[in-house]
């Protein structure tokens, strides 16, 4: 399985996980010239921009640092574009990370990760 297919499978698991938690999935793989957001969802009235990572068990101790500063900045900027395009400026929003484990264990969800 190539890296892209592996990532898509991880995103599928993350979306299923979030839906089970009651999140409403709005969009997947939103892209601009500057970046991509894996999943955009709603948790109550809060918009949630989700970065999905497929990780090994060894990465679980480093979840807080799994997304680098440059990547965070690209995600934030891409989220600003989405908010403008969807007349959602001013709505409460946050950035979450869902770490999907390849062995099928429950994903790890970090709310308000950055």
CATH class, range 3-110:
alpha beta
- Per-residue pLDDT reduced to its tens digit, 62-112: 666 788 999 999 999 999 999 999 999 899 999 999 999 878 789 999 999
Confidence of residue 47 (pLDDT cuts 50, 70, 90): very high
Instruction: Quickly list H helices, the chain.
Output: 3-20, 69-85
Query: Rounded to the nearest 5°, which phi and psi values hold at 27?
Result: -160, 150
For the chain, the structural domain boundaries read 3-110
Are 94 and 111 a contacting pair, CB within 8 Å?
yes
């Amino acid at each position: 399985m190539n890296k892209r297919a592996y990532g898509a499978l991880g995103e599928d698991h993350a979306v299923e996980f979030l839906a089970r938690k009651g999140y409403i999935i709005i969009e997947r793989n939103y892209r601009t010239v500057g970046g991509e957001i894996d999943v955009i969802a709603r948790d109550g009235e809060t918009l949630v921009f989700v970065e999905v990572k497929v990780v090994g068990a060894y990465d679980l101790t480093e979840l807080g640092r799994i997304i680098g500063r440059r990547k965070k900045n690209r995600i934030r900027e891409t989220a600003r574009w989405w908010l403008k395009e969807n007349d959602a400026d001013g709505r409460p929003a946050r950035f979450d990370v869902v770490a999907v484990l390849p062995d099928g264990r429950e994903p790890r969800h970090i709310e308000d990760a950055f």
